[in-house]
């Protein structure tokens, strides 16, 4: 089967899929789910259903890859470690099996009953065991906005920012799947007019609209991954909300960077969308001036046209309020550049490692990817439909992020990542 045919807009599944569903046959993202009376196992999203890969494997319908029980794993780490050829082979086979003209599942009522679960009937799990988590600062608009607030417009970007993807190592243990409650962390806080710091709950919880990518096959210690090879190591993408306690962060981050203000919670969406599914939406990223050093130069566009939006509901507002619409294409530094730079010193990546983009902000205020920017450091309170205002998030506030690439009559989506502060 030709890889390109898996994203053909005319392709249809025998299962009904709404045109605005995130999960048409052109997508087929990987995840880990737990049925009502079963153990977590690997699955693929199709329409409003989850396809059980362990059941299909037992029916000898999937490639084995010489890996016993692969699809019964409670994480996707082992599948990711097999490399891009294996992911493509599996995705092509699943596309065949779900095609409207393929009878293997379509005409087998018993198999359909065992292999297909409604999304509403299963619990989605963290898709991979995350050994390491790195957060970048790859949006020029976001970095410029934050720098302008705290250092002034003439010193908004630090001298290194246009030469390398700036990043820091986050806390992998506090990465959670969408729907996990977000606790308000304690920490030291010191306002500009305070004589001394105090300790207590953060008064400035913020969201950050990000995209993350999951490492599939890694590299050995002391070896690097080139910018041209980088996508062969990227299993797929997830939505990321890297929650921030701005007051804690502001006091602690000099001189070594984020710590307790960021490590209390990071939420990700449960479905890993492959680069092959996103291939039709590849596009050039922003022009990079000055030209990056040779090890960061790529021969192909590294951006993707992916719409992203952030919505808020509160204890007093049940209908989602749109806060921001941004786009993945705004990122100045591409995923391939981020990965190439991260490993340029010989740092080893392992299956399941998560790398996130940092806040994705666009060129206008309605495209800003954090409350810090939307309310411009508390100077421009956000007006809500019921008369309430927000400069930061309050207890009971729920943030939902969504992302999708729009095709001709279909969309390749990520579902959503949501969390309630409390």
Alpha-carbon distance values, 58 to 38, 68, 165, 190 (Å): 16, 11, 44, 59
Evaluate the omega torsion of the peptide bond into residue 315 and state whether it is cis, within 30 degrees of 0.
no
The β-bridge partners of 34 are 123
Phi, psi (degrees; rounded to nearest 5) at 326: -130, -170
Order of strands, edge to edge, in the sheet holding 411-420? 321-327, 307-313, 398-406, 411-420
142 is an active site residue: yes
Give the active site residue among 142, 233, 341, 342: 142
How many Å apart are CA 32 and CA 53, to the nearest integer?
A: 10
Residues with a catalytic annotation lie at: 142
């Amino acid at each position: 089967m030709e890889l390109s045919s898996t994203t053909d807009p005319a392709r249809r599944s025998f299962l009904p899929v709404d045109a605005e569903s995130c999960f048409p046959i052109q997508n087929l993202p990987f995840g880990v789910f737990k049925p009502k009376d079963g153990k977590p196992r690997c699955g693929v999203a199709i329409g409003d259903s989850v396809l059980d890969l362990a059941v299909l494997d037992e029916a000898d319908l999937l490639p084995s890859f010489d890996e016993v029980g692969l699809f019964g794993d409670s994480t996707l780490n082992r599948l990711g470690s097999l490399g891009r050829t294996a992911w493509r082979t599996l995705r092509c086979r699943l596309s065949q099996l779900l095609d409207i003209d393929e009878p293997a599942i379509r005409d087998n009522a018993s198999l359909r009953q065992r292999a297909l679960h409604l999304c509403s009937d299963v619990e989605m799990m963290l898709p991979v065991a995350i050994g390491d988590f790195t957060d970048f600062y790859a949006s020029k608009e976001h970095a410029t906005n934050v720098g302008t607030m705290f250092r002034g417009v003439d010193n908004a970007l630090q001298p290194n920012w246009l030469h390398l993807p700036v990043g820091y190592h986050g806390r992998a243990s506090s990465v959670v799947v969408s729907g996990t409650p977000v606790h308000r962390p304690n920490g030291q806080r010191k306002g500009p007019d305070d004589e001394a710091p105090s300790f207590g709950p953060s008064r400035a919880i913020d969201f950050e609209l990000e995209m993350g990518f999951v490492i599939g096959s890694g590299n050995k210690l002391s070896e690097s991954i080139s910018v041209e090879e980088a996508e062969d190591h990227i299993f797929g993408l997830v939505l990321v909300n890297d929650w921030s306690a701005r007051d804690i962060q502001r006091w602690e981050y000099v001189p070594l960077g984020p710590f307790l203000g960021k490590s209390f919670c990071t939420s990700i969406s449960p479905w890993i969308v492959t680069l092959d599914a996103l291939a039709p939406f590849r596009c050039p990223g922003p022009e990079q001036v000055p030209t990056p050093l040779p090890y960061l130069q790529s021969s192909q566009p590294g951006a993707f046209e992916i719409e992203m939006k952030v919505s808020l509901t509160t204890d007093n507002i049940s209908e989602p309020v749109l806060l921001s619409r941004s786009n993945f294409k705004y990122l100045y530094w591409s995923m391939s550049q981020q990965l190439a730079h991260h490993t340029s010193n010989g740092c080893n990546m392992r299956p399941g490692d998560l790398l996130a983009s940092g806040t994705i902000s666009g060129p206008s205020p309605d495209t800003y990817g954090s409350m810090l920017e939307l309310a411009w450091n508390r100077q421009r309170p956000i007006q809500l439909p019921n008369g309430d205002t927000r400069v930061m998030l309050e207890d009971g506030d729920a943030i939902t992020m969504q992302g999708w690439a729009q095709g001709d009559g279909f969309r390749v989506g990520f579902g959503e990542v949501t969390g309630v502060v409390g």
